[in-house]
Structure 1
């Protein structure tokens, strides 16, 4: 039976309203859960630069949150290494800074979170500083976190992740074996110049005696270059903060 235009329009409007309400309700219900999941994943990545992946995998979400809260404090700094507590009248914390969105801004306008890892049972004893990283791989975004020892020179650990690198090739940046190559490397050369750590082209060469080089990933040259650029750029963005901590450590040692 042919329906009138009025009936069809009314039915379409009602259906659209009902579906809109359902989608809105679903978003309201799932939104907080999604935010919690993202926050938990970020905490795991931050801790992954400090402790083993197996140890993190053995933790429940509640345990991850408790460990993070007991061992990590945060600050936010600008490109000059100065602490930022608010922007445009709005309070700023490391958790509210979206590194991916900041990546699109000029570096002078960005906010840079710092995650400070404390010794167990002693919140005044700093063990590492963890800095976020963000850049571009072969196909899409890559990101991660690098942990520096209190000398602000030695790499204590790193986690790397990606949105769409090639499985078995560039996607290997997430492998613990690849990430472990960075541990113990240094980001400053003997003259005091910030040089970062550079992944080499090809794979299978021993760089254990090269303080600023790590073995590459076979068949993943462009992803490796992306990691190199990301690491060098972000260490430079944080250089003022790094230098300030190096200076304060030197003064404290006197």
Structure 2
């Protein structure tokens, strides 16, 4: 009985030590894998960002081709302060809007991308706001009148499939094309996602049709477009070549 008890004790100790060693080995392998993959993950995020920026001006590409087309069509990256002044020391591409939005407006940095596609100039503004469950974000491009939308892309962190998640669908994004962001009096109102009888051919009503069952997400899209675009008014007002009268 005493020998069996000793063997049982030894067996339990061995099993425990084996489990500890395996946990340490697996944890080390996972940590190494995560660290090794970080550069690849960062590069994928960077390329996807370029894809989304380019998509707003009608330039479609896969990830491997994003850098070359980005360098071809994006002619300027600008970081602005709340007064529309260029912040030369800030890398606009690497500005994290999620972090910026936690700051007071006076301390925020506002990235702006300027594209030239076949001789046409476009201004691309990053967007970020709140949906039903989590953050929503994207980009919107304006033609050189800084009034007419060229294109838009949207994404989310947790909207409901078939409802709020529809903001990523092509039909929803296309509904923004050629919409105006200023009303007839020259006030920046953005583009509102609205329920009801919306005429998709009326591009001067500052409205697009809402997604059925996704009112809160739609309101989030409306709010983030108007809130973000208004931050760029000081800069746009300083540009002498802009063709539209703005207030």
TM-score range for the pair, normalised by the shorter chain length = 0.7 to 0.9
Aligned match of 1:95 in 89, 93, 96? 93
Equivalent residues of 2:48, 2:63 under 8 A apart: no
Corresponding residue to 1:40 among 47, 52, 58? 47
In the alignment, which residue of structure 2 is the partner of 1:161?
A: 155
Q: Could you tell me whether the CA contact under 8 Å between 1:76 and 1:94 is conserved in 2? A: yes
Structure 1 residue 20, shift from structure 2 partner: 4.8
Among residues 189, 195, 202, which one is paired with 1:195 in the alignment? 189
Q: Note the 1:14-93 alignment, pairs <5 A.
A: 18-51=25-58, 56=60, 59-72=61-74, 73-86=76-89, 92-93=90-91
Instruction: Identify if the C-alpha distance between structure 1 residues 6 and 239 changes in structure 2 by more than 3 Å, giving closer, same or farther.
Output: farther
Distance 2:163 2:157 in 1: 14
SS of the aligned residue for 2:126 comes to strand
Q: Distance in 1 between matches of 2:87 and 2:26?
A: 43
TM score, norm. by length of structure 1: 0.82
Give me the CA root mean square deviation.
Answer: 2.4
The answer to whether the Cα contact below 8 Å between 2:178 and 2:203 also exists between their aligned partners in 1 is no
CA distance in structure 2 between the aligned counterparts of 1:102 and 1:126, rounded to whole angstroms:
30
Q: Which residue of 1 aligns with 2:4?
A: none
Q: How does 1:112-131 map to 2 (within 5 A)?
A: 112-120=110-118, 127-131=121-125
TM-score, normalised to structure 2's length? 0.84
- Partner of 2:238, secondary structure, is helix
Contact 2:95/2:109, CA 8 A, preserved across alignment: yes
Contact 2:51/2:62 (<8 A) preserved: no
Separation (CA, whole Å) in 1 of partners of 2:15 and 2:160: 48
Aligned length: 234
Go from structure 1 to structure 2 and tell me whether the alpha carbon gap of 1:6 and 1:85 turns closer, same or farther (over 3 Å shift): farther
Deviations 1:214-237 (A, max 9, x none): 111111111111111111110111
Residue equivalent to 1:249? 242
C-alpha distance in structure 1 between counterparts of 2:19 and 2:234, whole Å: 59
CA distance in 2, matches of 1:75, 1:5: 64
Which of residues 206, 210, 219 is equivalent to 2:213?
Answer: 219
CA distance in 2, matches of 1:127, 1:24: 46
Aligned to 1:206: 199
Structure possessing the higher radius of gyration over alpha carbons = 2
Displacement of 1:42 after TM fit?
A: 0.8
8 Å CA contact retained: 1:78, 1:112: yes
CA–CA distance in structure 2, aligned partners of residues 163 and 60 of structure 1 = 22
1:141 paired to 2:143: no
Which residue is 2:3 aligned to? Answer: none
